Amino acid sequence: MEPLKIVAVSAGLSRPSSTRLLADRLAEATRQILAEEAPVEVRVIELRELASDIANNLVTGFPAAPLREAIEAVTEADGLIAVTPIFTASYSGLFKSFFDVIDNTALTGKPVLVAATGGTARHSLALEHAMRPLFSYLRALVVPTAVFAASEDWGTAGDERTDGLSARITRAAQELADLVRRRPAAAATGQVYEVIPFEQQLAALRP
């Protein structure tokens, strides 16, 4: 059996990075769930290591070998985890630039879990007004639960109104694993079906 491929993209800029830590925890939670039924390969891509290659690709249109390998890993993944720090109420420029250099049809039908980190919880809405629309535009399948981790979330169990970070990670990972398991074979292999013109479909309905 071919292993399932889970790729996490981390746009954290520092080292160590809370963004990378969140990507690791989401990837591991997803791996544990999927590993109950199939072998799983997990890869984490650090965009900070590809920053120069991404900038050069935007200017020249040609990716260097490390960037090309990262793009191939993302487009060939069975499930994608995308994690960015939030700056000025949106994803980072590095994060957006990486997905700008990927063909805008390459993520069609791909299960995606979006997540972000920030200093305070007031940045969490960026997941819904910025990240989710980005991947919806790319025609990916975005899981219902988006995970935001503010500084105060690490190590907390939540309260009576909200789940703690660990619970949100587990729920989002389960949703991603469910989409990966149900992903149609045609979407996973890139198979394209013939599009029948609308006029032809109407003609077929006439007696």
Q: Is the pLDDT of residue 131 over 80?
A: yes
Per-residue burial over 103-134, b if 16 or more Cβ lie within 10 Å, else e, is: eeebbeebbbbbbbbbeeeebbebbeebbbeb
Q: Computed from CA positions of residues 100, 106, 109, 110, in that sequence, does the dihedral angle turn out positive or negative?
A: negative
Give the pLDDT confidence score for residue 12 in this predicted structure: 94
Give the pLDDT confidence score for residue 188 in this predicted structure: 46
3-state SS assignment for residue 6? strand
Task: Write out the DSSP string of 106-132.
Answer: TTTT-EEEEEEEESSGGGTTHIIIIIH
Nearest to 70 by CA among 38, 46, 103, 97: 46
Q: Are 139 and 108 in contact (CB under 8 A)?
A: yes
The token pair that represents 19 in the structure block: 């963004």
Distance (Å) of CA 183 to CA 92, 158, 201: 29, 32, 27
Say which residue, 194 or 138, is predicted with more confidence: 138
Q: Are 60 and 101 in contact (CB under 8 A)?
A: no
Name 85's Cβ contacts closer than 8 Å, sequence gap at least 6: 11, 12, 13, 18, 19, 92, 116, 117, 118
Give the pLDDT confidence score for residue 124 in this predicted structure: 87
Say which residue, 123 or 57, is predicted with more confidence: 57
Give the pLDDT confidence score for residue 186 in this predicted structure: 39
Give the pLDDT confidence score for residue 204 in this predicted structure: 63
Give the pLDDT confidence score for residue 185 in this predicted structure: 47
- Render pLDDT for 21-53 as a digit per residue (tens, 0 to 9): 999 999 999 999 999 999 999 999 999 999 999
The token pair that represents 11 in the structure block: 């746009």
Say which residue, 157 or 116, is predicted with more confidence: 116
- Render pLDDT for 176-205 as a digit per residue (tens, 0 to 9): 999 999 875 434 444 444 556 656 655 666
Q: Is the pLDDT of residue 158 over 80?
A: no
Give the pLDDT confidence score for residue 77 in this predicted structure: 97
Nearest to 150 by CA among 29, 48, 18: 18
Give the pLDDT confidence score for residue 116 in this predicted structure: 97
Give the pLDDT confidence score for residue 123 in this predicted structure: 79
CATH number for 4-205: choose from 1.10.10.10, 3.40.50.360, 3.90.1410.10, 3.40.50.450: 3.40.50.360
Instruction: Give the percent of the chain with pLDDT over 70.
Output: 84
Give the pLDDT confidence score for residue 183 in this predicted structure: 72
Q: What's the average model confidence in pLDDT over 111-131?
A: 90
- Render pLDDT for 65-112 as a digit per residue (tens, 0 to 9): 999 999 999 999 999 999 999 998 899 999 999 999 999 999 999 999
Domain chopping of the chain, boundaries? 4-205
